[in-house]
Amino acid sequence: MSKFQTIGIIGKQGETGAAKATLARLVAYLAGRRIEVVLDSVSGALLDAPPGHTLDANDLGRRCDLAVVVGGDGTLLHAARSLAPHRVPLVGINLGRLGFLADVSPTDIETCLEPILAGEYDEEARCMLAARVDDDQAGATPWPALNDVVIHKWNTARMIEFETYIDGAFVNTQRSDGLIISTPTGSTAYALSGGGPLIHPALDVLVLVPICPHTLSNRPLVVAGSSRIELRVLGFDQGHVQITCDGQTNLALRPQARVFVERTPYPARLLHPRGHDYYKILRAKLGWGGHPARAESC
Instruction: Give pLDDT, residue 136.
Output: 47
Kindly tell me if the per-residue pLDDT of 266 is higher than 60: yes
| Residues written for the chain | 298
- Phi first, then psi: give them for residue 132, nearest 5 degrees: -130, 130
- 197-255, pLDDT tens digit by residue? 999 999 999 999 999 999 888 999 999 999 999 999 987 666 688 999 999 999 888 77
SS3 127: coil
**Interior CA angle at 153 toward 147 and 158, to 5°?**
145
Rg of the chain over CA atoms, in angstroms?
21
Per-domain residue ranges of the chain: 6-126+267-286, 129-263
- CATH code: domain 6-126+267-286 is 3.40.50.10330
pTM: 0.92
Task: Give domain 129-263's CATH number out of 3.20.20.70, 3.40.50.300, 3.40.50.2300, 2.60.200.30.
Answer: 2.60.200.30
CA pair distance 155, 169, nearest whole angstrom: 30
237 belongs to the catalytic site:
no
Residues 6+ apart with CB under 8 A from 45: 54
Residues 6+ apart with CB under 8 A from 34: none
Looking at every residue in the chain, the average pLDDT score rounds to: 90
* Catalytic residue from among 40, 56, 73, 134: 73
Spacing of C-alpha 264 from chain mean position: 13
CA pair distance 203, 243, nearest whole angstrom: 25
